[in-house]
Copies of this chain bind each other. A is one copy, B any other.
Amino acid sequence: MTVKRKPAPATAEHAPLQLEHFLPYRLSILSNTISQAIADDYQRRYDISMTEWRVMAVLARFEGLSAREVAERTAMDKVAVSRALARLVAAGRVDRAIHDDDRRRSVLSLTEAGWTMHDEVAPMARAREREVLAKLDDEERAWLTRILDKLLPAG
């Protein structure tokens, strides 16, 4: 007769991951918590998504980028960038021109309205970052920077 046995308990036999000590999981929770807090700030005030804000943030730093360059710098894929740009241009926050020498490329920059919004959102984002970093002391902050430098691809 067939007996439906309970699966083996979660012991050494199966070595389940302990998520609460598993780096990828912890990073994911931390990152999402922080990004969502910032997003809440600006989504309340403006009708703008996280991807759109990221595009605006890079255009604030680097004027005249093409869409592909924005994608590179934001680590977003080009479809996401294309869509974000469509909304930003429609909302009058980004200006899109065509590159003189290569008519495929766009030349992107913030409009005055875009800058106005940027200048309100950027300080809020920085404030959130400070809130997080306030939980650490100087020594920990220094190590965190160093560790991220080593772990991040381009660092």
Interface residues of A (CB under 8 A from B): 6-10, 14-19, 22-35, 38, 54, 57-58, 60-63, 73-75, 95, 109-112, 114-115, 118-119, 122-123, 125-126, 128-129, 132-133, 135-136, 140, 143-144, 146-148, 150-153
**Secondary structure type dominating chain A contacts:** helix
Is the beta-carbon distance between B63 and A10 smaller than 8 angstroms? yes
20 A-B interface contacts by CB (under 8 A): A7-B63, A7-B110, A10-B61, A10-B63, A14-B60, A15-B122, A17-B60, A17-B126, A18-B61, A19-B54, A19-B58, A24-B34, A24-B129, A27-B34, A29-B152, A30-B31, A135-B150, A136-B147, A143-B143, A147-B147
Q: How far is A6 from B109 in the complex, measured between Cα atoms in Å?
A: 9
Give A132 Cβ to nearest chain B Cβ, in Å.
Answer: 6
Q: Which of B8, B9, B133, B151 contacts A132 (CB 8 A)?
A: B151
Is the beta-carbon distance between B26 and A34 smaller than 8 angstroms? no
Give A116 Cβ to nearest chain B Cβ, in Å.
Answer: 10
Q: How far is A25 from B9 in the complex, measured between Cα atoms in Å?
A: 39
Q: How far is A16 from B26 in the complex, measured between Cα atoms in Å?
A: 29
